[in-house]
Amino acid sequence: MKIIFATSNNNKAIELQKMMGDFIQIESLKDLFFTDEIEETEDTLEGNSKLKAIAVFKAFDRACFADDTGLEVEALNGAPGVYSARYAGPECDAKQNMDKLLTDMKGSSNRKARFRTVITFMDRDEVLQFEGIVEGEIIHQKRGLFGFGYDPLFIPNGSLSTFAEMQLEEKNQFSHRARAFSKLKNHLLGRYRK
């Protein structure tokens, strides 16, 4: 089964394909030469995820899914949250986002945080959302070379390593994204493997 993943981020597409196995083949927006910019104008992860899924479904009229992920830091009242990708500004990169986060958390003893992913799946018959959450904490300086985004600053509960210090297989044992996609995968297997 082929399904479109509404992302141009090849790291995410590769991460997901490994989790999905052989039954489900993921096609990214890059694979389909889709270059339109989908504006994330909603103020919730649920809203942005659905907005992206609708745009891609309209473009291809095929089963697709989209995700939106946010890092929610307790000491910052849930920020950066839905603005995680552009926390340091519209043209920022991951390093600038992490630097801003560390600056904003200076002097805070409460380092609790969580990653939350919301996936919207859409085809001609249904629109469904799946959520994955991982609790953890923000450390004081970056560690690790793997992953992307805020991974070098986040240690999930039950580990001594940041996401950026983990190989993909280990990360997927904890990952918010892996938890949400596991729910999607189970739904797809139940629905299409009949």
Q: What is the mean pLDDT of residues 67-96?
A: 94
The tokens describing 104, both together, are 């904003």
The tokens describing 146, both together, are 């793997």
Q: What is the mean pLDDT of residues 139-157?
A: 93
- List, in order, residues 6 or more apart from 126 with CB less than 8 Å away: none
pLDDT tens digits, one per residue of 28-45: 999 999 988 888 889 999
pLDDT at position 35 is: 87
The burial of 175, by beta-carbon neighbours within 10 Å (0-12 exposed, 13-18 middle, 19 or more buried), is given as buried
Residue 184 belongs to domain spanning:
2-192
Give the mean pLDDT of the chain: 91
Q: What angle do CA 109, 180, 122 make, to 5 degrees?
A: 135
Q: What is the mean pLDDT of residues 106-112?
A: 95
Q: What is the mean pLDDT of residues 13-22?
A: 81
- What distance in Å separates the CA atoms of residue 78 and residue 90, rounded to the nearest whole number? 19
Structural domain total, the chain: 1
pLDDT at position 24 is: 85
List, by residue number, the catalytic residues: 68
Give the domain CATH number at 39. Answer: 3.90.950.10
pLDDT at 192 over 80: no
pTM over 0.85, yes/no: yes
